[in-house]
Amino acid sequence: MKISRPIFPREHGAWAVLFIPMIIGIAAAEQFNLMVVFLALSVLAVFLSYVPVQAIIRRYLGSAWAEDELQSAWFWAIAYLLAGGLFILPVLATCLWLLLPIGIVGSLCFLGNFLLTLRHPKTIASDLAAVAGLTLSAPSAYYVATGTLSPPAVSLWVLNFLFFGSGVFYVHMKIRARGLKKPRFSWMEKLTLGRLNLIYHVIVVTIVVVMTLRHFTTQLALIAFIPMILHAVIGTAKLSSDVRFKNLGFLLLAQSAVFAMLLSALFLSQP
């Protein structure tokens, strides 16, 4: 059997959605140990398994795959999942059993993403399902670093999901705008195309403010969302069909880094 090169996810943005929340979780915990390293390696391996596992399932649902491609998918799926299992064993040996339900939730998110992409390759719902699963790395890292799955861990997941969900709505707005291929949009057309994007950010602000008032997250958490909110509003106001997705990807990555620094600083500044 000829094995292909390692199979990697094509969605480059998914790497940021996975590891930036993990970094924030570690920073919020203010602790770092060997178990966090094992967790990161396990999470990476399971993340890499997504593409070959998806390929195998699609093949048995009737998609056309060459036999050598299927064999490679089986090889890498088993290799990645085995590595993920081996790396998580020492973490579970420290009795951090709540990682198991977190893993189950992540698997359900994977399943939801897969089912939603069977007919349509990219939708807001499927992307949000993926974001929900990937951002579980934040509470997982916090839990492993501190040994407790406390309210801050849950708030980290909510905040990261809300932030990266923003990118989902923004990118889909851009996709719809590009599909129209018009040189210029009227204000009404911009509002129509950006309606979901703007509504989502109003919801984000509302949720973050409520979380802050209820002392469910760090004070001034909304500060970390300001660059994202400004980008969403300005992007809607300047919306056109001329979209360079590569540049947009770099811009969203830079925005993610700023979010990570701001949110981490806010958690570290807590008394």
Whole-number Å distance between alpha carbons of 220 and 24: 16
Whole-number Å distance between alpha carbons of 56 and 72: 10
> What letter represents residue 63's amino acid?
S
pLDDT for residue 157 is more than 90: yes
DSSP letter (8 states) at residue 7: P
pTM over 0.75: yes
pLDDT at 39: 97
pLDDT for residue 148 is more than 80: yes
Whole-number Å distance between alpha carbons of 196 and 265: 30
Residue 168 or residue 5, greater confidence: 168
pLDDT in tens, 24-73: 999 999 989 999 999 999 999 999 999 889 888 887 776 666 666 778 88
The structural domains of the chain, with segments of one domain joined by +, span 1-149, 150-271
pLDDT at 134: 96
Percentage of residues in the chain with pLDDT exceeding 90?
A: 63
Residue 1 pLDDT level (bands cut at 50, 70, 90): low
pLDDT in tens, 103-119: 999 999 999 998 898 87
Look at residues 269, 215, 262, 264 and name the one whose alpha carbon lies nearest to residue 27. 264
Helix (H, G, I), strand (E, B) or coil at 207: helix
Q: Are 156 and 138 in contact (CB under 8 A)?
A: yes
pLDDT at 196: 94
